[in-house]
Amino acid sequence: MASALQYFVLILILGIPVHECTGVFQNENCIKEGPCFDLNMVAEIAEQVSKDVVAADGENILLKHNSFDKIRKMKNLHSCVLLEIIDLFQKVLVETERTSSVYPKGDINYHRELIHILDQLRNCVYKMKCNKLYKKAGTSPIKEFKSIQIPEEKMKPKQLAILQLRKLKNANERLSDVHIQERVMDELKTLHLYMRGKGFQKNKNDYEEA
């Protein structure tokens, strides 16, 4: 009986493929590194929240992707801008949940789910020193950029980060404006694309501070 059991165990051992550790070692055990947060889930939940939102008119709050690409390549700029983006979107979700139809018992409250998800996304943003950039953005009105007559496509990364922060600040100051809420809810559909970049941690074990 014992020999048969040993033979069975041997077959199992030989049948188990050997995998190389793709994570980190902790106490001689391989700990696989999962993503800090699956941004595909953000896209799916956002789609549920904004699927009935009609495309909003007016000026965009988030910069065009071509312009934002310059920001996402700079870890310090991308991190600081992401925190403000998350803050605005979370506030608008709280406001719009109050006015949305009551979710029937048993149904998923996608608004609330996304509000909690944004908290988790905030924890995936690298911790950087943003005070100087925020101060510069606070003293650099959008009209200043317009007076300089620099086309957006020719702005440097820091100029674009300041412009983005100013647009977010202006939206925050008009948070109760239905048009601002509609614009944010419309742009919610592509929020996950703005998260990707140098300022967003790729995995849970990837911690770094400024």
Q: Is residue 8 part of a domain?
A: no
pLDDT of residue 49: 86
Q: Which of 49, 60, 61 is nearest to 172 (CA)?
A: 61
6 in a structural domain: no
pLDDT band for position 48 (cuts 50, 70, 90): confident
Domain assignment present for residue 95? The answer is: yes
For residues 125-142, average pLDDT: 87
Whether 2 maps to a domain, the answer reads no
Number of domains making up the chain = 1
Asked if residue 4 is part of any domain, the answer here is no
Measured at the CA of 130, the angle between CA 126 and CA 134, to 5 degrees, comes to 140
Residue 43: band (very low, low, confident or very high) from pLDDT cuts 50, 70, 90: very high
Tell me, yes or no, whether 134 lies in a domain.
Answer: yes
Quickly state the pLDDT bin for 11 (edges 50, 70, 90).
Answer: very low
pLDDT at residue 168 tops 60:
yes
Q: How far, rounded to the nearest angstrom, does the alpha carbon of residue 185 sit from its chain's CA centroid?
A: 15
Mean pLDDT within 17-24: 40
> How far, CA to CA in Å, does 142 sit from each of 84, 159, 165?
17, 11, 10
Full domain range(s) for residue 176: 35-195
pLDDT score at 205:
66
